[in-house]
A and B are shown apart, each in its own frame.
Chain A
Amino acid sequence: QQQVKQSPQSLIVQKGGISIINCAYENTAFDYFPWYQQFPGKGPALLIAIRPDVSEKKEGRFTISFNKSAKQFSLHIMDSQPGDSATYFCANLGGAGTALIFGKGTTLSVSS
């Protein structure tokens, strides 16, 4: 089974700081690398995703950096806010259709 290894498991960042979460993947056959965000008591929701034809994608304060040779991609949250406190999951396509294999998640706490 394809693996997706995510780190760190938890992260505490001061308000205004930069949060960085890393993901290492195995399946190089697919071309879609997403990050999902989950608030307590809710289902996950797509935050940002990247295709490997670019090395970086930015949406507001959220940036994905992609390193194809290292088989890694990371999520950077600039100017972190208390409202960003959530669990973040990276994923890689893992089966037929669009089935995703998720990392184990990173719990981010942004202190005010």
Chain B
Amino acid sequence: NAGVTQTPKFRVLKTGQSMTLLCAQDMNHEYMYWYRQDPGMGLRLIHYSVGEGTTAKGEVPDGYNVSRLKKQNFLLGLESAAPSQTSVYFCASSLSAEQYFGPGTRLTVT
């Protein structure tokens, strides 16, 4: 099992550009999550999904959109990137309470 994988690992964007981060899990988990991690701020929940075709807002959803068209994939989109979105993004999945995290994507917006 690969667990939770994230694509890409690193990305540099210019302000105003768009991109999609892909998260995939092979554990047949119902729940999936996107977090961002910034120094001194811990992990903050952006959006999450409780099942295929469903999404919900977390703590810091503004500027992001998500889609869960397939159970194993959870996509995070930035339509118009801003420097404030420079961060490390983590995806996670769970069957119940324990969450399994991916290795992260480091995004820099210049």
Contact = CB atoms under 8 A, between A and B. Distances in A.
Interface of A: 1, 6, 9, 32, 34, 41-46, 49, 89, 93-105
Given A43-B90, A89-B42, A100 B98 contact: no
Given A46-B98, A99-B56, A104-B40, 5 more contacts: A42-B104, A45-B100, A102-B44, A104-B42, A105-B42
A41 to B, nearest CB: 8
B33 interface: yes
Contacts of B30: 97
B50 interface: yes
Contacts, number: 68
25 contacts: A6-B42, A42-B104, A43-B92, A43-B101, A43-B103, A43-B104, A45-B100, A46-B98, A94-B45, A95-B45, A95-B48, A96-B48, A96-B56, A97-B50, A98-B99, A99-B48, A100-B45, A101-B59, A102-B35, A102-B42, A103-B42, A104-B40, A104-B42, A105-B42, A105-B43
